[in-house]
Amino acid sequence: MIKNRREPFSIHWACASFAGLALLAGCASNPSATQKTTGWIGDEVADSYVFGYPLVLMGVACDAALGTGPGQAPINTLRHAQALPPIGASNPSQPSLDTLDSTGWLDVGSEPVIIALPDSHGRYVDARVLDMWTNVVWSTSSQFATNARGIKAQSIAFVGPGWQGELPKGVKRVDVPTRNAWVSVRIQSNGARDLAAVRKLQRAIRVAPLSVYAADASGASMTPPRGNAADIAIGTSSGNGTSGTPAAQVAALDATGFFTRLADALPDNPPTPADPHALKFLADLGVTPGEPVKLPSTPDAIAAGLAEGHDRVVTPPSNLLSANGWSWFGEGVGNYGPDYSLRAYAASAQLGIGTKDDEVRAVVSQDSDGHALHGANRYVIHFASNQLPPVRGFWSITAYTKDGALSESAPARLAVSDRNGARRNRDGSLDVIVSSTRVKNGNWLPAPRADLQLVLRLYAPKPQATDGSWQPPAVVRQ
């Protein structure tokens, strides 16, 4: 595994440079010469796949979400979830039961786009904007010094590369390095009876290009399209004629299809930070921004590199935090720099994830003995009084099927959370009981009657959640 691929880039490029000299020296007569002179191609295909994966994935997700069909919305428009996620396999992977989400795609190429957020009156709101390389360019987490007690009314202008001009008074400027960006506003929901209050806040959110915003002196909210929660998440498919999640669509692309999408996206979405090594690798492979792709005529080497790239994207990097069977992102997430392995894996596993200050999402699928979790068993997660999830906002635990869906067989659809009356023991500790069979006393988390996974969410986590000084407790089978 690699972390930032800097050294391998240089090595592979040297191999490519000397390949012609090897041929002139007569190495072609050696049975392994072909492999030696084409091996660099496979290496660079794999490196370039990992490098470009987030941009291609975001592009596919954007294409799926834009439009007027079911689950879609026009550019520079938010689509609001109106209800909690439905039960069943049609869910986006690991849907949250804690918030109603509003998402959309921005085009800041010709002028800034302004997002106006209302005062949430103490209700937790997690808003973030990601560039097309999945770096977080802005989020509300910086407004939560010690406690996440909601946000104040504010207007933010997201400004594309090279724009010069004046913004309305009181509007904060945030520069976006790519033409397009993805915005998510998640508002805390306290169950079905609370939805009306959440929808009122959703209707008060305004998204508009600068010219529209400035011309509308009244500042009236634009009417958003509505949809159910299964249509909203960044990782879902929509009614644009494609099938499967964006991740599945990208995985199905051959090398030409993948690198064509990458070449088409690069002119408007240059890499951040600028990386001449990565761009040189792409040029070696015949991939030039905005130009037709001309891959080398070495199908075996290209296929081998593509397969390695697939494997590396879904392989947890060494800097992923893990303890007691749980795994979660720590430092570096959301602002990746040259850590392309972490960036690609994060996009594959949790597309749209924020920074370490926005949210932690820890996942576990095995018990303390290393056996797969199954709803037919009963488990206990014991939080010592000094080891409760460290948050400025709140935390919750939800059970899903092994595929990340809310199970139809679960007897109730709920999460155990510190905001819904989770009861502590006399010594201040807290036990969560996971089972498909109802538990009368205690903090019962309903589970599917099948293999399952648990997700522990920490909203506005404290630093110890991501610096390695805190870890989730083991899931112990009783």
3's tokens: 């972390």
d(CA 58, CA 61): 5
| Per-residue model confidence as pLDDT tens digits over 26-57 | 333 343 434 446 779 999 999 999 999 999 99
DSSP-derived secondary structure for 399-453:
EEETTSPBPTTSSS---EETTTTPPPPTTS-EEEEEESS--SSSEEEE--SSBEE
CA angle 175, 166, 135 (to 5 degrees): 5
List residues bridging with 45 in a β-sheet. none
162: which residues sit within 8 A by CB, 6+ positions away?
none
Calculate the CA 75 to chain-centre distance. Answer: 20
Residue 144 confidence (pLDDT): 76
Residue 472 confidence (pLDDT): 97
Q: Do the beta carbons of residue 106 and residue 129 sit within 8 Å?
A: yes
| Per-residue model confidence as pLDDT tens digits over 438-467 | 888 889 999 999 999 999 999 999 999 999
Q: Report how far apart, in Å, the C-alpha atoms of 397 and of each of 111, 118, 297, 364 are.
A: 41, 29, 50, 11
Residue 142 confidence (pLDDT): 80
Residue 12 confidence (pLDDT): 41
d(CA 188, CA 200): 13
- Confidence check: pLDDT of 85 > 80: no
Q: Using 50, 70 and 90 to split pLDDT, how confident is the model at 331?
A: confident
- Confidence check: pLDDT of 20 > 80: no
Q: Looking at the domain covering 321-477, what would its CATH class be?
A: mainly beta
> For residue 459, which amino acid is it?
Y
Segment 220-235 shows an average pLDDT of 44
- Confidence check: pLDDT of 404 > 60: yes
Quickly name the fold that domain 67-231 has.
Immunoglobulin-like (2.60.40)
Where is average pLDDT lowest: 88-92, 148-152, 169-173?
A: 88-92
d(CA 174, CA 130): 11
Where is average pLDDT lowest: 57-61, 383-387, 437-441?
A: 437-441
d(CA 312, CA 445): 34
| Per-residue model confidence as pLDDT tens digits over 306-326 | 999 999 999 999 889 999 999
Q: How many CB atoms lie within 10 A of CB 293?
A: 19
Block residue for tokens 């399209």: 225
What does the domain layout of the chain look like in residue ranges? 6-63+245-313, 67-231, 321-477
Q: What is the mean pLDDT of the chain?
A: 86
Four-residue CA torsion sign, 113, 128, 349, 96: negative
Q: Do the beta carbons of residue 321 and residue 466 sit within 8 Å?
A: yes
For the CA atoms of 407, 410, 416, 421, what is the dihedral angle to 10 degrees? 140
Residue 187 confidence (pLDDT): 95
d(CA 61, CA 71): 12
| For the chain, percent of residues with pLDDT exceeding 90 | 70
